[in-house]
Amino acid sequence: MRKLKAWLNAARLRTLPLSVSGVITGTALANFYKANDITILFLALLTTIAFQVTSNFANDYGDGVKGTDNEDRIGPKRAMQSGLLSSTELKNGIILSAFISLTLVIILIYRAFGTENLLLVLVFLSLGILSIWAAIKYTVGERAYGYRGLGDIFVFLFFGILAVLGTMFLYTKTVTAVAVMPAIAIGALSTGVLNLNNLRDFESDKKVGKNTLIVKMGLARGKIYHYGLLGVSFLCIIGFLVSYANRMVQFVPLLAFLPILFHLRKIYTIKEPESFDPELKKLALSTFLLAVLLFISCNNFL
């Protein structure tokens, strides 16, 4: 039972709502264009969860072996940091989780494209392998991109652009220009969650040489950057809704920005890094709420 709790701790279940937001949004867009497949939805959700768990195991391992997770870290204690799991156990967990992820990718691709279109199969298989690589290389290895200030770009691309548009393509076999707006919105909000994590860990990351974007730009500019990310997300959702909504009730996704508005006010007042920690959950759940409300709005459930 103790080991099970340790693995659940390493999997960081609280990150899963954010990870599935892109899939839900991509499904909403596909449904808007009358494309629906419950099996693809189920497999896509399982796949993105597997990616996230792989990433969480890898982050626990990578930060642990580099000494980034130490007594200065403000956030929740990691499994390796706490001694609940050894580096060998976590490494084996990464391998197993990556294998499960790849298996799910293959099954999902087969369901979406069959064997008729080899080019699409190869493209999405490559994207799946790239997603697994990105999940692991954020903190693992000498050239981990999370230690070079590139985490924000990867989160924006994989949680936003690829997750939303890639999911939509699985259903529709096409992508529309208007769909790019909610993809950017989810990507910007997901990057905002990472930014909060980096704002919280500013001091400890700086000490151990983890050069996140916040370490490079500083806390004050990091806050401005955060406002920009959330502002871009809001404008993109406004633009998307204006482009298709024909009833006021279809603007219900904007309700997700009410807690985000209070969140921004809180960010403005924060002086100490540890105060950023509770805001991660708020923004992650607001992003998930936005995805759900987009799903409801695009399916004309209102």
The number of C-alpha atoms within 13 Å of 293 and in the hemisphere containing its C-beta is 20
The reported pLDDT for the residue numbered 77 is 64
Contact 166, 127 (CB under 8 A): yes
* Domain encompassing residue 263: 21-298
DSSP per-residue codes, 16-40:
HHHHHHHHHHHHHHHHHTT---HHH
Average pLDDT over residues 18-31: 96
pLDDT surpassing 90 at residue 252: yes
In a domain, 236, yes or no: yes
Of 101, 81, 104, 103, nearest in space to 10 by CA: 81
Tens-place pLDDT, residues 155-179: 999 999 999 999 999 999 999 999 9
pTM given for the model: 0.93
- Name the token pair of 274: 């540890």
Gap between the Cα atoms of 282 and 296, Å rounded: 21
Q: How many domains does the chain have?
A: 1
Tens-place pLDDT, residues 203-241: 888 888 889 999 999 999 999 999 999 999 999 999 999
The number of C-alpha atoms within 13 Å of 42 and in the hemisphere containing its C-beta is 5
The reported pLDDT for the residue numbered 73 is 57
In a domain, 4, yes or no: no
The reported pLDDT for the residue numbered 8 is 81
pLDDT surpassing 80 at residue 83: no
In a domain, 1, yes or no: no
Average pLDDT over residues 128-152: 91
The reported pLDDT for the residue numbered 125 is 96
In a domain, 93, yes or no: yes
Percentage of residues of the chain with pLDDT beyond 90: 68
Give φ, ψ of 41 to 5 degrees.
-60, -50
In a domain, 251, yes or no: yes
**For residue 290, what are the CA distances in angstroms to 251, 274, 277?**
11, 26, 21
Of 9, 159, 175, nearest in space to 76 by CA: 9
Q: If you average pLDDT over every residue of the chain, what do you get? A: 90
In a domain, 12, yes or no: no
- Name the token pair of 240: 């998307």
The number of C-alpha atoms within 13 Å of 104 and in the hemisphere containing its C-beta is 22
In a domain, 244, yes or no: yes
CA 97 from centre of chain: 17
Helix boundaries (H) for the chain: 2-11, 16-32, 38-66, 87-113, 118-137, 151-155, 163-172, 180-200, 202-208, 213-217, 219-244, 257-269, 277-298
CA 274 from centre of chain: 22
* Max CA separation in the chain (angstroms): 57
Q: Which long-range contacts (C-beta less than 8 Å, at least 24 apart) are formed by 70-76?
A: 70/204, 70/208, 72/203, 72/204, 72/207, 73/201, 73/204, 74/200, 74/201, 74/204, 74/273, 74/274, 74/277, 75/197, 75/200, 75/201, 75/277
| Cα dihedral: 116, 119, 125, 129 (round 10) | 170
In a domain, 116, yes or no: yes
Average pLDDT over residues 180-206: 94
Lowest mean pLDDT among 39-43, 210-214, 288-292: 210-214
